[in-house]
């Protein structure tokens, strides 16, 4: 019986030592992966373009509103109602354009982010298999990995593989 327990314990220890586990700091990957940085930069540039376009629509509208208020007392009720209706329609058009641009930007960003995540997942899987890891955990902030020995942290290696792959494109 004692020999059986020793054999079982030896097998368990042997199988545990064969199961290589590592973890990746996802937050660091997203900060240092060149494709993620490029995506963030492009997103900010698109936001700026959107803001510029909307300001280009908003400025003339504000001028029209100021002119309306300056001249409203001199207008007939019918002319005032017509001007108000025109301003209201223009404001709605600007709001619709803002909503359209915002949705478009969010959709583009979501699609590109999903592509980025798929690329990261694929490269991490290939890297992990090539290094013999049986399990690779992701940690972010106060995520599921509360502690990990630095020797198990493969974040830097993964970032290098990701950036090399991105540079090759």
Question: Residues 6-36: pLDDT tens digits?
Answer: 444 444 444 445 678 888 998 999 999 999 9
Exposure string for 52-62, b = 16+ CB within 10 A, e = fewer: eebeeeeeeee
2 half-sphere exposure, CB direction, 13 A CA radius? 0
pLDDT tens by residue, 84-129: 999 999 999 999 999 999 999 999 999 999 999 999 999 999 999 9
**Arithmetic mean of pLDDT, 32-51:** 96
């Amino acid at each position: 019986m004692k020999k059986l327990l020793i054999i079982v314990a030896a097998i368990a220890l042997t199988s545990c030592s064969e199961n290589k586990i590592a973890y990746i700091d996802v937050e660091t990957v997203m900060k240092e992966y060149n494709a993620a940085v490029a995506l963030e930069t492009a997103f900010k540039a698109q936001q700026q373009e959107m803001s510029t376009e909307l300001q280009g629509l908003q400025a003339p509208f504000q001028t029209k509103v100021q002119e309306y208020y300056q001249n409203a007392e001199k207008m007939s009720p019918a002319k005032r109602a017509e001007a108000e209706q025109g301003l209201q329609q223009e404001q709605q058009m600007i709001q619709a354009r803002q909503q359209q641009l915002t949705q478009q930007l969010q959709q583009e960003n979501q699609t590109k982010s999903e592509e980025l995540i798929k690329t990261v997942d694929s490269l991490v899987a290939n890297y992990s298999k090539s290094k013999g890891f049986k399990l690779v955990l992701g940690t972010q902030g106060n995520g599921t990995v509360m502690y990990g020995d630095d020797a198990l942290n493969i974040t830097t290696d993964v970032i290098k593989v990701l950036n090399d792959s991105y540079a090759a494109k």
